[in-house]
Amino acid sequence: MSSLSTLIASADLSLDISPVSTRPNSWGDKGGPMRPMHFCYTLMGNGESLTGFYSAGCGNLASYKPSASGGLTVYQADKMEEERKRYRPTESEVISSLLLDASIDPEASFREWCYDMGVDLGNPADALDTYNALRDCRAKMRAMLGSSFEAAVELAAEM
């Protein structure tokens, strides 16, 4: 059986990962502490591209409260950069996460998906946005990986 990294290499995918202090739809972009766990990625391959955000678990990383001027002290900035280097996600971690997102059942209706995922329909617009984003991710990952898509999803599930 092939490893995910071997499959990624054979698909000729290109991944760019850049650190960001906060991410959209995260409480951190509303004046809260900055965290070194957020990264922006762009995955490209076979004429498709997929851009989004990847976050490492916050349980193991410090948070840094900006000063009154909105910035970090030199010490905080140095510590944040050090942690970013230590916890920077690997290519396999980011692509594995995307493949798990892409494992959505392509035949499932929105209502079926909500039921399967236990989604509370208190805010159906947010749920529908997530459902559509997952379907888009699946379509793009399938286009990027071609006939290797199903095998890649299985490998990602084993990680």
pLDDT tens digits for range 62-71: 666 667 776 7
What is this structure's pTM? Answer: 0.79
Residues of the chain with pLDDT below 70 are: 1-2, 22-36, 57-66, 70
Q: Which domain holds residue 80?
A: 4-158
Domain count, the chain: 1
The pLDDT value recorded for residue 56 is 75
Q: At a CB cut-off of 8 Å and minimum separation 6, what does 61 contact?
A: 35, 36, 37, 83, 87
CA triple 6-156-99, angle to 5 deg: 100
The pLDDT value recorded for residue 109 is 94
Question: Could you count the other beta carbons within 10 Å of the beta carbon of residue 149?
Answer: 19
